[in-house]
Structure 1
Amino acid sequence: MMVNMKQSSPPVELSGKDFLTLTDYSYSELSYLIELAHDLKKKQKSGEVFHPLQGKTLGMIFEKSSTRTRVSFETGIYQLGGMGTFLSTNDLQLGRGERVADTAKVLSGYLDGIMIRTYSQAMVKELAANASIPVINGLTDVYHPCQVLADLQTIEEVKGGLKGVKLAFIGDGNNMANSLVLGAAIMGMHISVAAPEGYLPDTAITKKAAKIAAASGAKIEITTDPLHAAEKADIIYTDVWASMGQENESTAREQAFKDFQVNNELLALAKEDVTFLHCLPAHRGEEVSADVIDGKHSVVFQQAENRLHVQKALMTALMG
């Protein structure tokens, strides 16, 4: 679904705003960012040159390594006319004990925006509190809001809208589950998260999502039954069972999640035109069977590409 942005403008001034969690933004603000992402994708596909960030620089702090986050942000800022600079925590004085607040103030004098991909949400909040430039959360152990923006864009493209769409998330109640629950609540989608006991999404986050859902008309369900969650789903979504930093838990998690694989038997419980999503990287034969992720219902590479377009939308809105 492509939207003509010539008819649209930000619901409020977004320039200079941080993007730390989805709840920092209203329904209308998130809708605007998704519409802008559609438009920027259309521009890029048609070869149109669009440089709203000419001469601007994004600093990209990585404590956690990444394929999609680094390449999409670095490519995105370049396509918008600016440049990105990669900042490993091993190369920064943060790695030698400099205060996050001091780093934030120093970088604010050099850059026009910061993207950070790290473990601690508290670190991201401290960075934003002390920076005078926009800070974008590229991932923490609690939230992954940039990925959910790309997911929402993808669902709009495939399903034509968001309200009333049912998404079933099958697997670990991790940062993806937390952010998808919030994104669904804000946008009026229905979501059912199925995870084993001990691996459910964050309780405080699901309570917050339930309050938002009461106003938006969304339905939020947390269950330990993957078959129930998948029933009549428009979207089935999964993620790896052991995220970065949890490698020592892999054996225990494989046992806990053995009944939570997304396969054709599970897909058969969903709607006939169900769409499969995965934020990648994927482990075929573990959280998803190869015939699902490589099959006709899967749009995981379209979803991955949309990371580029939503992050360009974020940078355009926040740094422009």
Structure 2
Amino acid sequence: MKKKRKHVLSLRDLSNQDTLDIINSGVDYARGKIELGEQLKGKVIGIYFTKTSTRTRTSFSSAALRLGAQIISYGPNDLQINTGENIHDTLQVLSQMLDGLVVRTSGPLTELRTLKNMESMSLINAMTDDEHPTQALADLTTIKLHFGELSGIRIIYFGEGNNTAIALALSLTKFRNVTVYFCTPPNYGLDKSVLCYAQKEGKKMNSHIQEVHRVKSLPLDVDIIYTTRWETTGTIKDDINWRKEFEPFSVTERLMAQYPKAIFMHDLPAHRGEEVEASVIDGEKSIVFEQAKNKVHSAKAVLQWCLG
């Protein structure tokens, strides 16, 4: 019997154990505990990105090659979707030719779920408008490498409740005794349904998820300060004065001084002088480039989990 394909579309779809297995595998890859080259030998992986990408596209391409797969890369204008073919037909055709497809789209997650019940091709969400699951898996891999554990981690996230923030909320609720504060500008918070879901799931693990809109409403004893750029890839804000709303949520040296034990994380790319001061992201507390490097190790883990 042909083995059923696995997919990474949303963190909601992954069990707590699935999530931990992927993270642990990423940790092992990062520590050089797994020999490379044979895991995906004979597999063909498609890499289809309709939006710009440096880290995610490179990490999955590099990971697939290092695990022995061959890759076919598609740009935003390469497939017949660009001339009007619907994504369902495109995915169905590609599923007859590829073993796996890594996709970044400009649309919602629901576009990718047309392949949900197909068993011939694994599908990996490399970012949609409403979730960035592989970023969170890479981030948690980095956190576990740095702290040795995920349970009990305390995080403050500053900035917009974007797809990276959503992925963090959905992933961190899978671990015990985690505390996460999402400090977001008013009217730029997490989707309310996602926040409610994360809070409900968090209670099962004795974890606390909270959103606040004032920087002064935060605890001072945390492990990680996390931010993302204010303008998520390809998005435009309706309010022309939105920057004034975001300025109090910039991660500055003064803010970091309130958290002497905390490290700094950022999913990159960064705009120094906006969401973070250069002295913070380039300072000794920053692990952003370690975080970026671990994306390739996490990508190996995701690919192996789906296709290995």
TM-score when scaled to structure 1? Answer: 0.90
How far apart, CA to CA, are the structure 2 residues paired with 1:313 and 1:266?
35
Counterpart in 2 of 1:97?
Answer: 84
For the residues of structure 1 that align with 2:118 and 2:40, how far apart are their CA atoms? 23
CA distance in 1, matches of 2:55, 2:237: 24
Whether 1:31 and 2:23 are equivalent positions in the alignment is no
Preserved CA contact (<8 Å) 1:239 1:282: yes
Following superposition, the deviation at residue 165 of structure 1 comes to 0.9
> 4+ residue runs of structure 1 moved beyond 4 angstroms?
247-251
2:94 corresponds to 1:107:
yes
Quick one: distance in 2 between partners of 1:106 and 1:79? 26
Aligned to 1:314: 302
Distance in 2 between the 1:103 and 1:230 partners?
48
Is this contact kept in 2: 1:173–1:202, CA < 8 A? yes
Residue in structure 2 matched with residue 224 of structure 1 by the alignment: 213
1:279 has 2:267 as partner: yes
Structure 2 residue 287 is matched with structure 1 residue 288: no
Partner of 2:198: 209
Give the counterpart of 1:74 among 47, 58, 61: 61
Comparing 19-28 and 199-208, the one that deviates more: 19-28
1:173-208 superposed Cα distances (whole Å, 9 cap, x missing partner): 111111111111112321000111110101000111
Task: Determine the structure 1 residue equivalent to 2:150.
Answer: 162
Please state if 1:265 is matched with 2:265.
no
CA displacement, residues 239-262 of structure 1 (integer Å, 9 cap, x when unaligned): 011112224659533211010100
Segment drifting more, 184-193 vs 125-134: 125-134
Gaps of 5+ in 1: 1-13
Secondary structure at the counterpart of residue 165 of structure 2: helix
- Is the Cα contact below 8 Å between 2:199 and 2:210 reproduced in 1? no
For residues 296 and 245 of structure 1, the distance between their equivalents in structure 2, rounded to whole angstroms, comes to 31
Alignment partner, residue 192 of structure 1:
181
Indicate the percent of aligned positions where both proteins have the same amino acid.
36
Structure 1: how far apart are the matches of 2:164 and 2:75?
23
Q: Distance in 2 between matches of 1:275 and 1:56?
A: 38
What is the rounded CA distance, in whole Å, between the counterparts of 2:114 and 2:258 in structure 1? 44
Aligned 1:230-269 pairs, distance under 5 A? 231-247=220-236, 252-269=241-258
Whose helix proportion is higher, 1 or 2?
1
SS of the residue corresponding to residue 139 of structure 1 reads: coil
For structure 2, list consecutive stretches of 5 or more residues without a partner in the other structure.
Answer: none
Q: What is the TM-score normalised by the length of structure 2?
A: 0.94
Q: State the 1:145 CA deviation.
A: 0.6
Matches within 5 A, 1:58-73: 58-73=45-60
Amino acid at match of 2:262: V
Counterpart secondary structure, 1:193:
strand
Q: Deviations over 1:11-48 (max 9, x none)?
A: xxx9611111111112111111111111122238x9x4
Matched to 2:142, the amino acid is T
CA distance in 1, matches of 2:13, 2:205: 16
Distance in 1 of aligned mates of 2:257 and 2:275: 17
C-alpha contact 1:150 1:307 (8 A) present in aligned 2: yes
Checking the alignment, whether the CA contact within 8 Å between 1:104 and 1:131 is kept in structure 2 is: no
How large is the RMSD of aligned CA atoms in angstroms? Answer: 1.8
CA contact (8 A) 1:89 1:95 kept: yes
